Amino acid sequence: MRTAVPAKTKGRRSHAESRHASMTLILDCAEAEFAEKGYNGATLTSVAELAGVDTSLMRYYFGDKERLFEAVFMRRAPASNELRRKAMAHYRESAGDNMTLEGIVDAFTRPVFELGANDHGWRNYLAIVAYVSTSSGPMRTLMTQAFDYVSYEMIADIKRIIPDAREEEIYWAYYFMSGSYTFSLGQTERIGVLSKGKISALDFAEIARRLPVFVGAGLRAMFEVGSKLKKRPFRSMPKDALRNELEDWQREYSQVTSSTITKPGRKR
């Protein structure tokens, strides 16, 4: 279960300080709820219960759940962006004409992994970023508002390193890089299950160490052969493909699940 990280209090507060503390507490608890349950699973009531406040206070500060989620999402974005921009600027200055794909990927991703390494609040936030990055509909605009300007800096750096690459390949490069990066932020622990505990998706230090190597090598290979790739046959499956098979599976599944449901008054 993800935990909220409430703000510490000390002594008497002014009205402005009390308001800030209350809003911070609500945002911390909402962050924990959204990280664990997703947007649809979390409710204003569950957030209020975790924060120990009345839902009317939450509505007074944030309105509805959509606005609360937006406030949670936008709160930490400026800090993470600033750290990444500083790291990227430092790398450009120190590397000069010897910039590498591995180096710029490291500068783009490492600061965020370091933020989440030992901080539950940041871990909660990064899980939400991973959730939003794979969402469609209006939620996509949050990624644009929060991160596009840093993403364009990263894209510009890739262009500097591979100046002869076609623009389409540059954007494909960012697409695959950001996919690996944001999936790693999700901390799903799927790899922990597959590896039987040998490695963990929570180990941000090891992810930060390996991700630039993996992504850099992949992008370099893609740029080298991208224009030479032969188009392979690609057939879009018919709209009703495997419909009969799916219906057979659903019928079989329904029979299995119905047989395991205990009927009223019947002992198991």
Q: What is the pLDDT of residue 18?
A: 87
Q: What is the pLDDT of residue 245?
A: 86
Q: What is the pLDDT of residue 15?
A: 77
Residues of the chain with pLDDT under 50: 266-268
Q: What is the pLDDT of residue 267?
A: 46
| Residue 226, amino acid | G
pTM of the predicted model as reported, rounded to 2 decimal places: 0.84
**pLDDT tens, position by position, 67-87:** 999 999 999 999 999 999 999
Residue with tokens 């370099």: 220
Distance CA 141, CA 57 (A): 27
Q: What are the chain's domains? A: 15-74 (1.10.10.60), 76-227 (1.10.357.10)
Distance CA 4, CA 42 (A): 14
For the chain, give the longest Cα–Cα distance: 77
Q: What is the pLDDT of residue 268?
A: 41
Contact 177, 220 (CB under 8 A): no
Encode burial over 128-156: b for 16+ CB neighbours within 10 A, e otherwise.
bbbbbbeeeeebeebbeebbeebbebbee
Q: What is the pLDDT of residue 53?
A: 95
